[in-house]
Structure 1
Amino acid sequence: MGSSKVIHAFYNDDEVLLDAVKTVKAAHHHIEEVFCPFPVHGLDKAMGLAPTRIAIAAFMYGITGLSVAIWMTNYMMIQDWPQDIGGKPSFSWFENMPAFVPIIFELTVFFAAHLMVITFYMRSKIWPFRKAENPDPRTTDDHFLMEIPVHNNEEELTALLAKTGAVEINVVEKH
């Protein structure tokens, strides 16, 4: 994979960045990525990103956890090792279900939470021991960076970004 040029436009205010993203998108330029020190409300909509489907995944993972919990409590406490607890034997899952509610709840939450984290890491390609791809350390402190690919329009993009309130504009080679 060869290298290509990108423009890094730095901003020091989230509202200025949001307006700049809207201006750049209105001029029909593609924004590769925006690096921020904190989440900026409305940035995903301004960039035209598709809504996330993590809520659907979380629901499916929760249903999986619920199913595992019901199967597990039925198998362990009713089928495999039924017990006479407190002199009141009850050998049906439905009669014992109130005692299983904490287990069912915890496994539902456990599956949803852990599988959502794994899904997030897989979708964002963040793997253990992977080197960070942050182009400038200032984006973890107080600056916002908009990265735009250059396609023989460097002067036009630089002029547009200067009008949007960028505090610094750099053209760099991206490898």
Structure 2
Amino acid sequence: MSTKVVQALYNDDDILMDAVKKVKAEHHHIEEIYCPFPVHGLDKAMGLAPTRIAITSFMYGCLGLTVAIVMMNFIMIQDWPQDIGGKPSFSYLQNMPAFVPVMFEMTVFFAAHLMVITFYMRSKLWPFKKAENPDVRTTDDHFLMEVAVHGNEDEVTALLEGTGAVEVKISEKH
């Protein structure tokens, strides 16, 4: 389904932040904002929900810790016990202090790699994916805000022109 959006182009992030606050105060829905760099506080100004990537990172870290414990118990205790430096290999608990670095590294490894994969899947950034930004200037030095319109193009256009946009146009959102 294709809908119309008003695209406003800004050349300063402070002007963009003020514009977002004015648009939200007028109760218009902001579809998307394209920025060349992260703008601090933009997510809160847009009213976006907080991210849950930290929760998934914790779960991935727990998975890495579990894999490390099971792997070391099987390799070093059950499958091929070895006498390394006179240390007994009768139980996992007797050798656990030597296994702490491996447990830490596997926890970090799993959390970092799986979190990156999750981020790319959630944001739909596949290899060889075509760029979706509507204006190439948003990758250099401009900011673009798309506001949904439902028969009120003139009102939204006038509002965005009054917020300091350098260019305002109406286009189709796919």
Tell me if both proteins adopt one fold, taking TM over 0.5 as the criterion: yes
Deviation at 1:162, TM superposition (A): 0.9
1:166 partner amino acid: A
Instruction: Decide which moves more: 90-99 or 77-86.
Output: 90-99
In the alignment, what sits opposite 2:138? 139
SS in structure 1 of the partner of residue 30 of structure 2: coil
Does 1:59 pair with 2:58?
yes
In the alignment, what sits opposite 2:150? 151
Aligned length: 174
In the alignment, what sits opposite 1:12? 11
| Alpha-carbon distance between aligned partners in 2 of 1:100 and 1:87, rounded to the nearest angstrom | 16
Deviation at 1:102, TM superposition (A): 1.8
In 1, are the aligned partners of 2:87 and 2:95 still within 8 Å (CA)? Answer: no
| Alpha-carbon distance between aligned partners in 1 of 2:141 and 2:22, rounded to the nearest angstrom | 22
In the alignment, what sits opposite 2:161? 162
Query: Normalised by the size of structure 1, how large is the TM-score?
Result: 0.95
2:112 partner amino acid: A
In the alignment, what sits opposite 2:24? 25
In the alignment, what sits opposite 1:117? 116
Instruction: Decide which moves more: 66-75 or 94-103.
Output: 94-103
SS in structure 1 of the partner of residue 147 of structure 2: strand
In the alignment, what sits opposite 2:96? 97
2:123 partner amino acid: S
In 1, are the aligned partners of 2:88 and 2:95 still within 8 Å (CA)? Answer: no
| Alpha-carbon distance between aligned partners in 2 of 1:83 and 1:75, rounded to the nearest angstrom | 12
Deviation at 1:80, TM superposition (A): 0.6
Deviation at 1:93, TM superposition (A): 1.1
| Alpha-carbon distance between aligned partners in 1 of 2:45 and 2:87, rounded to the nearest angstrom | 62
In the alignment, what sits opposite 1:83? 82
SS in structure 2 of the partner of residue 117 of structure 1: helix
In the alignment, what sits opposite 1:37? 36
SS in structure 1 of the partner of residue 50 of structure 2: coil
Unaligned runs of 5+ in 2: none
| Alpha-carbon distance between aligned partners in 1 of 2:147 and 2:110, rounded to the nearest angstrom | 38
Query: Normalised by the size of structure 2, how large is the TM-score?
Result: 0.96
| Alpha-carbon distance between aligned partners in 1 of 2:86 and 2:53, rounded to the nearest angstrom | 46
| Alpha-carbon distance between aligned partners in 2 of 1:96 and 1:107, rounded to the nearest angstrom | 17
| Alpha-carbon distance between aligned partners in 1 of 2:100 and 2:92, rounded to the nearest angstrom | 11
Unaligned runs of 5+ in 1: none
C-alpha deviations, 1:27-72, integer Å up to 9, x for none?
0000000000111111000000001111111111101100110111
| Alpha-carbon distance between aligned partners in 2 of 1:111 and 1:62, rounded to the nearest angstrom | 6
C-alpha deviations, 1:66-91, integer Å up to 9, x for none?
01101111111011100011344332
Identity over aligned pairs, percent: 77
| Alpha-carbon distance between aligned partners in 2 of 1:87 and 1:18, rounded to the nearest angstrom | 65
